[in-house]
């Protein structure tokens, strides 16, 4: 996918690290599609620290939480301990600006393996647009993107392109 990200702001507080990143246009992304993604994000309201032009339904919120859980699970799959330790992950997620309702949904979704193919079925392009920057942030928590995370990010980008 060729995602390039740069840290633009880093602020350490007593129990948090605030991190801002710039994500560059992926190598495989058409310039027109990238412009559409940017326009969609700019025409929006604040949701969980990320912008969105729509109020999402509870079903879409659940799918979003499960997608994010998949990215977390994909990131853990390459580590020596492929289990996600919630108490270690929670401060990182809070540092990314996730609200409590979203955190609870992600925690619940992490209890079972997620299937990317099932999560992508009927995925709305606007929900994919909300998920992509969050998924990039999650994938970059360990400062590298593995093959499984790349597959998920590419799939989200493709879902946005289908709009």
Three-class HEC string of 50-74:
EEECCCCCHHHHHHHHHHHHHHHHH
Q: What is the mean pLDDT of residues 14-37?
A: 73
pLDDT above 90 covers a percentage of the chain that reads 33
Average pLDDT of span 36-63 = 65
Average pLDDT over residues 52-63: 75
pLDDT at 22 over 90: no
Residue 45 has pLDDT above 50, yes or no: no
pLDDT tens-place string over residues 89-130 = 999 999 888 889 999 999 999 998 888 999 999 888 888 989
Predicted TM-score (pTM) of the model is 0.67
Mean of the per-residue pLDDT values of the chain: 80
Q: What is the DSSP string of the chain?
A: ----EEEEEEEE-SS-EEEEEEEPPPTTS-HHHHHHHHHHHHS-EEETTEEESSPPPHHHHHHHHHHHHHHHHHHHHTSSS-S--HHHHHHHHHHTT--HHHHHHHHHHTTS---HHHHHTT--HHHHHHHHHHHHHHHGGGT---HHHHHHHHHHHHHHHT-
Instruction: Please give the share of the chain, as a percent, with pLDDT higher than 70.
Output: 74
C-alpha closest to that of 106 among 49, 151, 62 = 62
- What is the structure's pLDDT at 69? 94
Residue 70: predicted pLDDT: 94
**Which residue, among 58, 133, 137, has the nearest Cα to 93 in the 3D structure?**
137
Higher pLDDT, 1 or 69: 69
Confidence class for position 7, pLDDT limits 50, 70, 90:
low
Domain region containing 17: 5-161
CA distance 51 to 22: 15
Q: Is the pLDDT of residue 51 over 50?
A: no
Rounded (10°) angle between helices 31-42 and 125-139: 90
User: Is the pLDDT assigned to residue 154 strictly greater than 60?
Assistant: yes
For the chain, what is the domain count? 1
């Amino acid at each position: 996918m060729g995602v390039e990200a740069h840290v633009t702001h880093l602020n350490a507080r007593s129990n948090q690290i605030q991190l801002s990143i710039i994500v560059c246009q992926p190598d495989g992304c058409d310039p027109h599609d990238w412009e559409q993604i940017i326009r969609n994000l700019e025409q929006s309201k604040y949701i969980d620290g990320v912008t969105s032009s729509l109020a999402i339904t509870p079903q879409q919120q659940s799918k979003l939480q499960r997608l994010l859980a998949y990215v977390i699970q994909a990131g853990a799959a390459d580590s020596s301990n492929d289990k996600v330790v919630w108490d270690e992950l929670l401060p990182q997620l809070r540092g990314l600006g996730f609200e409590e309702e979203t955190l609870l949904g992600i925690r619940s979704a992490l209890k079972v393996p997620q299937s990317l193919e099932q999560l992508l079925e009927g995925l709305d392009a606007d929900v994919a647009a909300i998920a992509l920057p969050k998924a990039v942030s999650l994938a970059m928590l360990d400062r590298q993107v593995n093959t499984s995370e790349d597959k998920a990010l590419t799939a989200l980008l493709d879902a946005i392109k289908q709009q």
